Structure 1
């Protein structure tokens, strides 16, 4: 989570630096909002909340804060319980609930009409979702990206369990690395054809902005 937040800040500063004139400051750097869905409940010693928002504060004066970075934590299990116990009117009045209902549904077709009624934007969301899932090339690229992330997690877990061993990293087959790289490039190309934001492409694929521009 912190890795991607830091990466987004660097990407935004890099883009701003590319647009700014020499001698200008970085006042136009955009706010970085991180949204994290957790499949477990955090424990902070309180009654628990489904949604928490964190930002940088002055530890000596809690009334002073920096709004450049916001970290939103959404605990899926708590939201599932809230949605189960919510009325239609409550779902209509809280758009976050309709979004979480969309993300946590096992069968979108069963609740499609409910979602559209609860939140008008869901018609467009479902339409874009279906376009994405019906695009074979995009789905292959997505699968490659998922495989890449799983591979990274496995490597990190083994390193933590066994201790860092440089020899293990050197032992990774070149073919596997090449395959992961091809998956990143394929996904980036597909996303560029959809005119997605270059920062988003960089975050999802792991490629740098310069690499994406050259594709």
Structure 2
């Protein structure tokens, strides 16, 4: 059992307190590689708190000192359409935080931070960053802002105007933490802080997110949360194992069916080929027979005796007598 409160639980219960913003700021500063100061937390349709249950996702929406929106989501259960969910979340924020009649220059910059405790997609890294870039189809160049746009929007690249996505696949981290970001990933995964960690915000985790600081009721609720996480992971692993078993069974059945189909097809092809060969052989034999009959008929008309005709053509005397 970890000494510190898990990040997903802390987001729901503790990190909404302004006194604990340093924890969030530390994570964001480490991840975005720039000093982040949280101005306040916001509410929107996308982060309304639901009744607690084992499948609950935790959303937190912050505004930094630059007026950017930062959506942080922790997802415990497997969701195959999670990529689309990320897009939906940022799209809603774009429309929620612009007033009717305002120009498009008022659209807010959004960072979508996604901490996932399941295998999302197929990739070898533990942290992924996605942004919008316009690339030339013919010349392969990147579309840039004009000098006026740079001055007006106070950014250097087009991608800085669009939502940016970060995915932290924390369950896949299984090595020694060597960088500040890896120290954070280690804490997010285990609830522990690596020895000698220097990443911004982790010192505040040590001070403010100790399990021993919770009262009895809070601890009971927290441990139920941990139990539910274990159950959820067991369910995911069980479903994955069952899926593999079913896949193998279906694969064998499909393989047998495909094997039969391929066998039938091969049999048909072989039969067709054999039929062609037999047909050709039969045709040749019949052609040869007709040729001999024609020769025998002509010899018979010339008055040659039947015994000689039989010897020349290979036909029986009986067959030759029937020729007209």
Q: TM over 0.5: same fold?
A: no
TM-score (norm. length: structure 2): 0.31
The structure showing larger relative contact order (alpha-carbon pairs under 8 Å, at least 6 residues apart) is: 2
Q: Larger % of helix: which?
A: 1
TM-score (norm. length: structure 1): 0.43
Of the two, which has the highest radius of gyration?
2
